[in-house]
Structures are given as structure tokens and as C-alpha cells.
Amino acid sequence: MSTTEIERQWTTRLRHRVAAKLPPEKLLPDTQPTYVSSWIYVFGVTTLAALVVVIATGCLLAIRGPQWWHESDIGHFVNSLHLWSVEIFFFAMVIHLWGKFFMAAWRGGRALTWMTGVVTFVVSILTAFTGYVSQTNFDSQWISTQAKDGINATGGGAFFNVLNLGQMLMWHIVLLPIGAVALTVLHVLLVRVKGVVPPFASTNEVES
């Protein structure tokens, strides 16, 4: 096989494109611009850390099935871990979001980074909601019977039946987590590709 032929391969081209967009020193940087020194930056990594704990505790709950946590003290404790990691996740995520808003973090070609973050937030809300209606207790009964009216009013209830435990549980533990994790990975990669947005400072012109 000639060198030219190898260079034309899809795999070779893909590797070159990935390496050009995201070289190792960008993917895992060992330095940061000096302006990246504020308490607000803690909340991005805290959100990621909480997501890891949310998924880990969710996997533990999945091992023994949806009824386990009602019948076992250990199961109930794992459910408590899952609940509180979700609370930390949203707390950190909301502060991260507002922090990025006030930094106008979409500047410098970072609009897609902002948008993936917003969509991740929305998908996370859906994921948490489906978790709440999958608890198989009084809370899930009340929340689902109330929420059905909102979703039904949009026409969405015909396809997304919040009273159907099996459907909600599948969305909660398969479809939505896949979406949330994929969006998070994309979001983080975009942050690494474009770097952390610099502080405001006006200049007269920008080169194109």
C-alpha cells in the first residue's frame, strides 16, 4: 500500500482532523491562562464530578431493580446517595450556567459550547423528572398524576406517558442518561477545543 493510499484512508483523514482540532496538549492541558482563577470555575468540574456519582449510584440501584430500595436499608441508603448527588449536580450546574452567562461564555466562536450546555441542562431536568416518577412510591404517584396534565396539554402525553412506569424507567436509566452523557462529553470537548473564554476587553477591530 502506498503512502498516498494510506493518506487517503478515512481513518487517516479522521485522525489528522481530530489531531488538528484537539491535540493532546489541548485535550489535557497542563497550563491555563492566568485569568482562569476564580471560584466560579469550580462549579463546572463539580458538575462533572457529581454526574459521575449520580451515574455510579444509579448503576448500584439498577443492579437489584426498582423495588430494592424500598425493602433494604442498604438499598435505601444507595437511593439517598443517588438523590443527594443529583441535588449537588443541579446546584453546581445552575451556578455554572449563570456564571457562564455573566462571563458571556459564547464569545469567540463558543456559541455551540453554550448551546450544548443549555441542552444538557434541559436533558438533565428530563432525566431527573423521569427518575422522580419512577420511584414507585407516593411521590412518583403524585408527581406523575400532576405532570400528566402539562404534558398531555402539549400533545406530548400521547407518546410520553408519565403514568407508564416501564416507559419512564427506560427513559430514566437508558435513553436520557445516554443523551446527557453524550452532550456532556461534546460540551467538554468543545471547551477544550476553544479554550476558556477570556475576560471582556474591547479592541478596535478583529481580524477575519
Partner 1 sequence: MTKKAFRPDVDAPRWTGGHTPYDIAKEGTIALLVVAILTIALATVFGSPDVPAVTIKRWSNTTPVDFAMTALSELSATSGSALYGAPYNHNAVGQQLGPLQLAKWVGVRIPINAVNDFVINPLESLPNQGALATDLQQWKQASTSQRNGWIADYTKAAAHLSFKSGNVVVTAANAGPVPVLINDLTQMARSGALDQNLVSHSGFYTTDYTLPLLFIADGSYLANLADLQHLKGTQWGMMNETGSYPGQAWLWLYTFWYQVPPFSQSGNADVLVWGFMMALTALLLLIPFIPGLRSIPRWSRVYRLIWSEHYRGLQPASGQGTRPSADRPATSRATGDITRPEA
Please state at what angle helix 42-64 crosses helix 176-194, rounded to 10 degrees.
Answer: 160
- By CB under 8 A, the count of residues binding partner 1 is 99
User: From the list 22, 126, 157, 189, which residue makes contact with partner 1 (rule: CB under 8 A)?
Assistant: 157
Is 110 a binder of partner 1 (CB under 8 A)? yes
* Interacting span for partner 1 (CB under 8 A) from 5-13, 15-23, 105-113, 176-184: 105-113
Is 53 a binder of partner 1 (CB under 8 A)? yes
Q: What is the DSSP letter of 156?
A: G
- Find out whether 169 and 161 touch, Cβ atoms under 8 Å: no
Q: What is the DSSP letter of 105?
A: T
| Binding to partner 1, residues 23-42 (CB under 8 A) | 28-38, 40, 42
Dihedral (C-alpha) 115, 119, 122, 126: value to the nearest 10 degrees? 180
Output the CA torsion sign for 76, 164, 180, 86: negative
Is 136 a binder of partner 1 (CB under 8 A)? yes
User: From the list 9, 12, 72, 137, which residue makes contact with partner 1 (rule: CB under 8 A)?
Assistant: 137
- Least Å distance, CB 8 to partner 1, is 30
- Least Å distance, CB 46 to partner 1, is 6
Q: Which is nearer to partner 1, 6 or 56 (CB)?
A: 56
Nearest to 147 by CA among 160, 87, 172, 167: 160
Is 163 a binder of partner 1 (CB under 8 A)? yes
Q: Which is nearer to partner 1, 9 or 80 (CB)?
A: 80
Report d(CA 93, CA 113) in Å as an integer: 14
Q: Tell me the C-alpha to C-alpha distance, in Å, between residue 8 and each of 4, 11, 23.
A: 6, 8, 21
Output the CA torsion sign for 130, 136, 139, 141: positive
User: From the list 2, 4, 11, 202, which residue makes contact with partner 1 (rule: CB under 8 A)?
Assistant: 202
Nearest to 66 by CA among 189, 147, 173: 173
Is 65 a binder of partner 1 (CB under 8 A)? no
Is 60 a binder of partner 1 (CB under 8 A)? no
